[in-house]
Structure 1
Amino acid sequence: MLKQTHQLYDYHVWANERLFGHLEQLPKDVFHAEVTSVFPSVSQTFGHMYLFEQLYLCVLAGVPNENIFPRMSVWAEQAQGKTVDETRQLFAGVAEQYRDLLQRTPDPDKEMTIEHPKYGSLNTRFSEILQHVVNHGTYHRGNVTAMLRQQGYAGFPTDYLFYLLNQQESQR
């Protein structure tokens, strides 16, 4: 299970990196252009993703809610008005923190209880919350693809299958 958990997170980072690489090839205004979608722009979608990457990193690390919620406005502010490359660097920093946490978590199936301020407590496992982080990223990368198409640009394939093919190819 440990290898699978690490691979799942590696996929998430790989998919974000591929999408950032694609965005860097497009005109700079595409990242901040206003569109009608779940979020008003690609950059704001990534800002949301970054905020929640940070939030769930704290949840997985066992940080109490009262220490997490004051940081949320800081994380949101960190991602505002950034270029594609600056946003990419924010994600690289949080990915490094996740990888450090994964290295310090020998049992990804360890049970944990998280407290949600609106929905109450949830008995879950570390691996299930990490799966949520990956699913959340996948959902919003799909939003970004739709936003790009709305602006007349192609999206970029980041499906898990493409990750597996890429891994297989790199092992040859």
Structure 2
Amino acid sequence: MMNYPSEMFNYHTWASQTILRRIKELPTAVLHQEVNSSFPTIAHALNHIYAVDKMWYMVLTGTDMGEALQECMPLNGRILQTVDEYVKLFTELSEQFRKWIGSESDLDRTITLNNPYAGIRETRLSEIVLQVANHGSYHRGNISTMLRQLGHASTMNDYVLFLYQQPAEQSGAS
């Protein structure tokens, strides 16, 4: 049986690495070129994705959301100089997520989420994992738009392409 939260996290990791590979193919200045968009530079967008991923990882592993936000908010302003630094950062966090997902026996377990911006609610761990994937997709779309505004093509990183690139035994096909 397919573990959809895990599958969506694998997609999120693949899509992030796919867009990073595309950025690495471009002139190094692209990472820091200013653009009129949701973020001033692609580096800022990458920082945001990473900071939010890290915050949710901390929540999933038992940190109060308010505390996780306090620790991760400064990461938004930590601009890295190269794409390779972002690749390393995202890879390390993805490995932490994968280990956690692999060790968590019940992704449908409910926790109380105390969101300083939205209040208290009960939520399943699986919903948080899906939030991570959805948030990343949204902002990779921002990055694709930013690349186009800077005169460069982006790269396809849709979920369906991820599925087509998986070996048949992983995708459930016979």
Same fold per TM (> 0.5)? Answer: yes
Structure 1 residues 169 and 19: alpha-carbon distance in aligned structure 2, compared to 1, 3 A threshold? farther
The match for 1:34 is: 34
Structure 1 residues 65 and 161: alpha-carbon distance in aligned structure 2, compared to 1, 3 A threshold? closer
**Structure 2 stretches lacking a partner, 5+ long:** none
**Structure 1 stretches lacking a partner, 5+ long:** none
SS at match of 2:52: helix
Matches within 5 A, 1:15-164: 15-65=15-65, 67-77=67-77, 79-164=78-163
Judge conservation of contact 1:54–1:75 (CA < 8 Å) in 2. no
Judge conservation of contact 2:66–2:114 (CA < 8 Å) in 1. no
Judge conservation of contact 2:66–2:115 (CA < 8 Å) in 1. no
Structure 1 residues 135 and 41: alpha-carbon distance in aligned structure 2, compared to 1, 3 A threshold? same
How many residues are matched? 171
Distance 2:12 2:112 in 1: 24
CA RMSD of aligned residues (A): 2.0
Structure 1 residues 161 and 146: alpha-carbon distance in aligned structure 2, compared to 1, 3 A threshold? same
Distance 1:109 1:150 in 2: 41
Aligned AA for 1:88?
Answer: V
Instruction: Among all aligned residue pairs of Structure 1 and Structure 2, give the percentage whose two residues are the same amino acid.
Output: 34
SS at match of 1:156: coil
TM-score by length of structure 2 reads: 0.91
SS at match of 2:166: helix
